[in-house]
């Protein structure tokens, strides 16, 4: 199975690995997986749409496409209004649907944050942008995974959200284990 992973720093970060941590985690769950990763740290939905050809449409065709966006859109110091975020996600969705059948696209919500450390994001905003992502996935009949809820369900966010930066957002092993498992479960059923 060949998978294109794309989105923001949550998909792109290496966190001490020689490749994106998520790539490494997915291989633990799905040893035969082939991964293309075009994620860009710091990107928001508007910039992603502007670079859609480079990041998705002209990338080597894969069996499945996984997109995680919203993390930077909801950041209060550079916030993309929720209405604009939804429009951006709809533009992205309408463009990728030409190349990927809906049941082969997985949209993932932004992650939950440790509010004691994260100063420009909070879980109230995460819920708002997560709901938008779920609506767009439903509208386009894409698969959807709620990473924020999976993180909340797993327990102590202060431990889950602790990575090398220790900023309450960029997580390490525990967070990537949750994300990797969430994606692997979805890929197995695609």
| Structural domain for 39, as ranges | 2-188
DSSP bridge pairs for 145: 108
Indicate which CATH number applies to the domain containing 103: 3.40.50.1110
Written as one string, the DSSP assignment of 97-136 is TTTS-GGGEEEEPPPP--TTT-SS--HHHHHHHHHHHHHH
User: Side-chain half-sphere of 109: how many Cα atoms within 13 Å?
Assistant: 26
Any idea what DSSP says for residue 145? E
* Distances from the Cα of 25 to the Cα of 35, 40, 124, angstroms: 11, 18, 28
What is the enclosing helix (H) or strand (E) of 137?
Answer: helix 123-140
Q: What percent of the chain has pLDDT over 70?
A: 100
DSSP bridge pairs for 65: 4, 105
Count of domains in the chain?
1
Condensed to tens digits (0 to 9), the pLDDT of residues 107-149 reads 999 999 999 999 999 999 999 999 999 999 999 999 999 999 9
CB 120 within 8 A of CB 75: yes
CB 75 within 8 A of CB 14: no
CB 96 within 8 A of CB 69: no
Condensed to tens digits (0 to 9), the pLDDT of residues 163-176 reads 999 999 999 999 99
- Grouping H, G, I as helix, E, B as strand and the rest as coil, residue 64 is strand
Condensed to tens digits (0 to 9), the pLDDT of residues 13-58 reads 999 999 999 999 999 999 999 999 999 999 999 999 999 999 999 9
What is the C-alpha to C-alpha distance for residues 169 and 166, in angstroms, rounded to an integer?
A: 8
DSSP bridge pairs for 36: 4
């Amino acid at each position: 199975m060949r998978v294109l992973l794309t989105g923001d720093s949550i998909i792109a970060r290496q966190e001490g690995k020689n490749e994106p941590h998520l790539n490494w985690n997915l291989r633990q769950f799905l040893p035969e997986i082939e991964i293309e990763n075009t994620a860009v740290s710091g990107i928001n939905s508007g910039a992603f749409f502007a670079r859609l050809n480079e990041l998705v449409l002209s990338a080597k065709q894969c069996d499945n496409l996984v997109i995680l966006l919203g993390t930077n859109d909801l950041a209060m110091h550079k916030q993309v209004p929720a209405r604009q975020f939804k429009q951006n996600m709809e533009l992205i969705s309408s463009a990728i649907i030409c190349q990927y059948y809906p049941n082969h696209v997985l949209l993932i919500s932004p992650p939950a944050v440790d509010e004691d450390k994260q100063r420009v994001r909070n879980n109230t905003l995460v819920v708002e942008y997560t709901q938008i992502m779920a609506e767009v996935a439903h509208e386009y009949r894409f698969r959807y995974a709620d990473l924020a809820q999976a993180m909340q369900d797993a327990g102590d966010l202060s431990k889950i959200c602790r990575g090398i930066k220790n900023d309450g957002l960029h997580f390490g092993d525990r967070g990537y284990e949750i994300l990797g498992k969430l994606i692997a479960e979805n890929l197995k059923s695609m």
